[in-house]
């Protein structure tokens, strides 16, 4: 969480005092209705659906695309496990592809991983860093694939002037506690496609047939679940949405200072960024020649009170630690397990299946940016990076 205060408290108080906490209020416009309109406008899409989490958003998006058993979905080797679990949740198989040095999905490897069963790709704008959407949309268009943007770590970021989530067929946001804006837990599905929106809407609310807007749904009702947002959290998100661009500006400013001060550093280069203007700025990256030098930098900085990390060490975002995937346990019950129910899919998961990703993750050092770090503290970080003695540690 970057910032939250009295405006969010007032918004929550207003909802509680109204006694109306449910997202559907008959003819009255709810906080969630308002949030959906405001979020759609912010992202620049026709439709936004508020849901309970980013994971729910990904699952609803895949339902929106009508994906299911027998389908393969390409996901990056570096992301939160939810990106890979969402295909399994709809009965499809996640296929892992490499990230490149930007630590986002490598378009060339996506092309290599396509099979006749591939239906979609999920580019993840990891750590606020935009994927190369031009190249990925090009692959998708040539090969007839749908694109689900996972913007969970990149709320409000953009690529070449378009907000992340509005470029693919459908986009997903997370508003959990660790995200750029937050309400504790929450998510959104964004799209310009009415059918994807209506299918996602149906899946997210098992009771949709009984809602006042049921007559606007043009597709036959199918069984859904419950990932409905509530009005307390939507009220918080409306305030957070108004804060979003200010937060992004502050993060980008700090990252820009770091990039300018540390460009041409040695023995590292600045991690490549696909669209520096649209990058959310949450994460400053340095790419080293060797994993040992990267590790030595982290250790050096730690001794001087500067927090840095190698993404390879954060564990849970690296595919080698996704046990349910690597061990092919795709569901709680064999009859519901896509790995057991898709015999035509001959997947060869292994911990060394994406070696380039592991190499880049081990040679990268991240420093998280902040929206309110004093200038002298930032200058000290720059100084510590510049003067770190890596030789003694390699």
3-class DSSP assignment, residue 25: strand
The DSSP annotation for 215-271 comes to GG--S------B-B--HHHHHHHHHHHHHHHHHHHHHHHHHHHHHHHHTT-SSEEEP
Do residues 286 and 269 touch, judged by C-beta distance below 8 A?
yes
Record the tokens describing residue 152, joined without a space: 């969970």
Backbone angles phi, psi at 277, to 5 degrees: -70, -35
Residue 22 CA to residue 239 CA, distance in Å, equals 18
Looking at residue 352, the DSSP 8-state letter turns out to be T
Place of tokens 């709320």: 155
Looking at residue 316, the DSSP 8-state letter turns out to be T
Nearest partner of 115 among 351, 321, 340, 348, judged by Cα:
348
The site for ligand PLP (CB under 6 A) is made up of 53-55, 79-80, 82-83, 124, 150, 152-153, 174, 176, 187
Q: What are the residue ranges of helices labelled H in the chain?
A: 6-18, 31-43, 54-64, 82-89, 107-113, 133-143, 194-204, 231-262, 291-303, 323-326, 338-341, 355-363, 375-387
Q: What angle do CA 296, 2, 251 make, to 5 degrees?
A: 65
Residue 325 CA to residue 129 CA, distance in Å, equals 25
- Compute CA 42 distance to the chain's CA centroid, rounded to the nearest angstrom: 17
Query: Which residue, 183 or 286, has its beta carbon nearer to ligand PLP?
Result: 183
Record the tokens describing residue 326, joined without a space: 């690597």
Residue 325 CA to residue 81 CA, distance in Å, equals 9
- The order of strands in the sheet holding 47-51 is 47-51, 187-191, 170-174, 146-150, 118-121, 72-76, 93-97
């Amino acid at each position: 969480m970057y910032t939250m205060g009295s405006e969010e408290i007032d918004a929550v108080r207003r909802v509680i005092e109204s006694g109306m906490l449910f997202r559907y209020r008959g003819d009255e416009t709810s906080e969630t209705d308002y949030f959906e309109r405001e979020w759609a406008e912010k992202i620049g899409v026709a439709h936004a659906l508020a849901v309970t989490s980013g994971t729910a958003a990904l699952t609803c998006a895949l339902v929106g695309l009508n994906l299911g058993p027998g389908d393969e979905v390409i996901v990056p080797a570096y992301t939160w496990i939810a990106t890979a679990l969402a295909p399994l949740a709809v009965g499809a198989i996640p296929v892992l592809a490499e990230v490149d040095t930007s630590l986002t999905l490598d378009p060339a490897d996506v092309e290599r991983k396509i099979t006749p069963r591939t239906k979609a790709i999920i580019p993840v704008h990891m750590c606020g860093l935009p994927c190369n959407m031009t190249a990925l949309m090009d692959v998708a268009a040539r090969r007839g694939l749908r694109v689900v943007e996972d913007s969970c770590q990149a709320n409000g970021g953009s690529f070449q002037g378009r907000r992340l989530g509005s470029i693919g067929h459908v986009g997903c946001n997370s508003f959990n506690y660790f995200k750029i804006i937050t309400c504790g837990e929450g998510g959104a599905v964004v799209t310009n496609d009415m059918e994807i929106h209506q299918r996602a809407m149906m899946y997210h609310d098992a009771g949709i047939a009984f809602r006042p807007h049921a007559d606007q749904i043009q597709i036959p009702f199918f069984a859904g679940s419950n990932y409905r947002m509530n009005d307390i959290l939507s009220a918080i998100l409306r305030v957070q949405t108004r804060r979003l661009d200010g937060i992004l500006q502050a993060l980008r400013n700090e990252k820009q200072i770091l990039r300018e001060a540390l460009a041409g550093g040695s023995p590292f280069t600045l991690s490549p960024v696909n669209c520096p203007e649209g990058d959310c700025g949450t994460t400053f990256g340095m790419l080293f020649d060797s994993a040992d030098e990267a590790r030595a930098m982290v250790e050096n900085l730690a001794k001087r009170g500067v927090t840095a990390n190698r993404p390879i060490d954060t564990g849970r975002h690296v595919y080698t630690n996704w046990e349910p995937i690597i061990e092919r346990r795709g569901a709680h019950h064999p009859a519901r397990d896509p790995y057991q129910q898709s015999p035509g899919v001959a997947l060869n998961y292994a911990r060394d299946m994406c070696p380039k990703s592991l190499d880049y993750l081990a040679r990268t050092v991240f420093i998280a940016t902040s929206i309110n770090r004093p200038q002298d503290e930032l200058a000290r970080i720059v100084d510590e990076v510049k003067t770190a003695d890596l030789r003694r540690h390699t």
